[in-house]
Amino acid sequence: MLLAEVLEALAPRRGGTYVDATFGAGGYSRALLSAGAGRVLALDRDPEAVRGGAALVAETGGRLTLVEARFGDVAEIAHGHGFAEIDGIVLDIGVSSMQIDQGERGFSFRHDGPLDMRMGRDGPTAADLLATLGQDALADLLRFYGEERFAGRIARAVMTARQEAPIRTTRALQRLVAAAVPPARDGIDPATRTFQALRIAVNDELGELVRGLMGAASLLVPQGRLAVVAFHSLEDRIVKRFLQGKTAPEEAVSRHLPTMRGSERAFSTIGGPITAGTAELAANARARSAKLRFGLRGDGALPADISALAELAALPARNTARGRRR
């Protein structure tokens, strides 16, 4: 996604060291190596993506190291594999096209399948959350992660439906949401925000993003480049605030979050948002929501006060615990 734009933002130098923290199908890693990168460390939490990347690892003769890991652990993984003084890092946040297209993974209602949504193979599934969360906790989750206006209605519908039978498939959830809310005027399926919210919660995506941003910034050399592609407003606002370093006290990441207080500027230059061009949109409709932001690492320390961002990492666990007590 936004491959040419990401490469321009990273400006890879010959012989440099780079990290592709969200490997997926390997597009960024392959492009970085083709552009002359000396070594690339790639991470993906999905074991299927890692298995799929084995051929590229073999092709590159040791220049590519591919690790099954969460990008929130990027700093630890980099140090553990002997990667230091990183020249550039790319993060492509969210679910991959490969995962969406696999009906058995449960990411999309375009295919009927088990309501799973796990990027890895550990932890509770989306079906587990729907079966265990209380009504208030589920409504909070949908409102916060999906920015869903009808979160209360959907949560009530889930409570009623699960008294009859568990909600276990993507189509069952899609039909439930469609019956609970008014038709969307923009033509977007009314279940879209619910699926987004559950996926974010299942995979702790915003918590991973916070940890990944901090880890990436800690690895970069001065003037090293960080490029992040985000796909929805919560992610993009967090990336924007992080790159800006200092945030006005009255500006919050979202109306559901505490404000991120002022901190030391970590990036000397920032750019974006950059969106997909006409050609990419014609070839891939999913690119319409992608936004690229990038920054050049400055001499300043990492943000000293990230209380608002750290709050994100605790929210899914707090909501789940609260919901299960009810």
User: What CATH number does residue 63 fall under?
Assistant: 3.40.50.150
**What residues does 271 pair with on adjacent strands?**
294
For residue 101, the model assigns a pLDDT of 59
Query: Residue 325: inside a domain, yes or no?
Result: no
Q: Which of 201, 233, 268 is the last residue of a domain?
A: 201
Q: In angstroms, how far is CA 71 from the centroid of its own chain?
A: 9
pLDDT of residue 259: 45
Confidence of residue 311 (pLDDT cuts 50, 70, 90): low
For residue 199, give Cα distances in angstroms to 83, 142, 148, 286. 31, 10, 14, 17
Distance CA 290, CA 90 (A): 14
Statement to judge: residues 87 and 8 lie in one domain: yes
Asked which of 166, 201, 236 is the last residue of a domain, the reply is: 201
Where a domain ends, among 201, 218, 249? 201
Both 247 and 271 in one domain: the answer is yes
Supply the CATH number for residue 130's domain.
1.10.150.170
Q: What is the pLDDT of residues 253-267, one digit of tens each?
A: 444 444 444 445 788
The answer to whether residue 286 scores a pLDDT higher than 60 is yes
Examine residue 158 and state whether it is found in any structural domain, yes or no: yes
Q: What pLDDT is stored for residue 9 in this prediction?
A: 97
**CB atoms < 10 A from the CB of 321, how many?**
10
In a domain, 101, yes or no: no
| Reported pTM | 0.83
Residue 99: predicted pLDDT? 61
- Does residue 323 lie in a domain region? no
Q: Where are the alpha helices (DSSP H) in the chain?
A: 3-10, 27-34, 47-52, 54-59, 74-80, 97-101, 126-132, 135-146, 151-164, 170-180, 192-203, 205-219, 233-244, 278-283, 307-325
Which pLDDT tens digit goes with each residue over 5-57? Answer: 999 999 999 999 999 999 999 999 999 999 999 999 999 998 999 999 999 99
Find the domain containing 122 and state its range.
Answer: 108-201
* Whole-angstrom distance, CA of residue 323 vs CA of residue 50: 34
Residue 291 domain flag: yes
What confidence score (pLDDT) does residue 314 get? 46
The average pLDDT across 49-74 equals 95
Contact call for residues 149 and 159 (beta carbons, < 8 A): no
- pLDDT tens-digit series, residues 187-219: 788 999 999 999 999 988 888 998 999 999 999
pLDDT at residue 326 in the model: 41
| 152 in any annotated domain | yes
Domains in the chain: how many in total?
A: 2
Q: Give domain status of residue 102, yes or no.
A: no
Q: Looking at residues 238-243, what average pLDDT do you find?
A: 88
Whether residue 210 sits in one domain with residue 178? no
pLDDT digits (tens, 9 = 90+) for 134-183: 999 999 999 989 989 999 999 999 999 999 999 999 999 999 999 999 98
CA 156/CA 177 separation, integer angstroms? 10
Residues 42 and 135 in one domain: no
Between 320 and 4, the more confident residue is: 4
Q: What pLDDT, on the 0 to 100 scale, is given for residue 96?
A: 61
pLDDT tens digits, residue range 217-227? 999 999 999 99
322 located within any domain? no
Question: Taking all residues of the chain, what is their mean pLDDT, rounded to a whole number?
Answer: 85
Higher pLDDT, 28 or 238: 28
